[in-house]
Every structure is written in structure tokens, then in C-alpha cells.
Amino acid sequence: MPHSPRARATGGAALDAREDFARARRAHAFARSARWFAGLRRHRTDPTCGPCTQPLGGGRSRLVVLSLAAGRGAIEPSAGFDADFRPVSESVRTRWERIALAHRQGVALSPISVVACPDGYYVLDGRHRVSVALALGHEDIDAWVSRPLRRERPA
């Protein structure tokens, strides 16, 4: 049974996971083409957490159900995903499909790790899980949220 309007089901979870990945790759290709036709020749870069570069120094993490819409990017850029967490190459296929299969089979996945910055949340660990959740149309995800360690300004 599909989990969302985007997640179609054929009855074979592994086949559905493969199709989910292919659909996510097509979405990336379409977005790239749309940017090109709009005259935006440069690839939109993965937003990173600028001043929040030392994520795990500031206190305890807390487990929350995080809205995927609140995500802004990742702590560090990735060659495997675009700025909207769509897969950009075949190199992430195997892990991506395993996670999609787990979603389709109802297997609980570990929470992602994010850092809360003033402009939103940045993924520290869990890009594949975020990518799959977005591709399947999920609205939220379990996440460990931590505060960044603030850098001291030079005097």
C-alpha cells in the first residue's frame, strides 16, 4: 500500500523502491533542465550552515519529530545529492533503495541528526533518509536536534 500520493505500489516492495529511486533521479534531471532553460546556468549549491560549523559542542541533543519543510540544507555539501536532497548520481542508489525498501516494509529507521541554526535545520547525518522521505512525500521525520557551538568572535 502506498505511503503517499507519490509512492506508487506494484505489490513488490523491492521493485517499488527501484522505481522510487528512478523517479527521484528524474526529478533532479527535470529541475536541472528547468534551471538551464530559465537561464540559471550554474548549479544551485547545497546550502550549508555557514556560521554553525561546529555542530556537536553545545549541549544535549533532543529527539523530535521534525517537519521536512524546516530543513535548509546540510552541514557539509555532498556530491551525491542536490540542494533539495534529490540524488544526482547512481553512486547513492544501493543505500537509497535499501532505505526506500525499509520505508515500504514499515521498518523503523534510526532518527537523523540535525543542527538547529537561526534560519532552520541542517542535516549532519541522514541525507539518504531525508532524500527518501521527501521522495515518498513524507511531511516529517524523527531527528536528534542539537545546537551549534558558537564561535567566539576575535577581540
pLDDT tens track, the chain, 155 positions: 344 445 566 667 788 888 888 888 777 667 776 666 666 655 544 555 555 545 445 567 899 999 999 988 888 888 888 888 989 888 999 999 999 999 989 999 999 999 988 888 999 999 999 999 999 999 999 999 988 765 555 54
Widest distance between CA atoms in the chain: 63
Any domain includes 107: yes
Any domain includes 105: yes
Task: Residue 102: give the domain boundaries.
Answer: 13-147
Q: How far apart are CA 48 and CA 80, in angstroms?
A: 15
Residue type, 153: R
Any domain includes 155: no
Q: How far apart are CA 60 and CA 87, in angstroms?
A: 31
Any domain includes 47: yes
Any domain includes 120: yes
Any domain includes 41: yes
Any domain includes 152: no
Any domain includes 4: no
Q: How many domains does the chain have?
A: 1
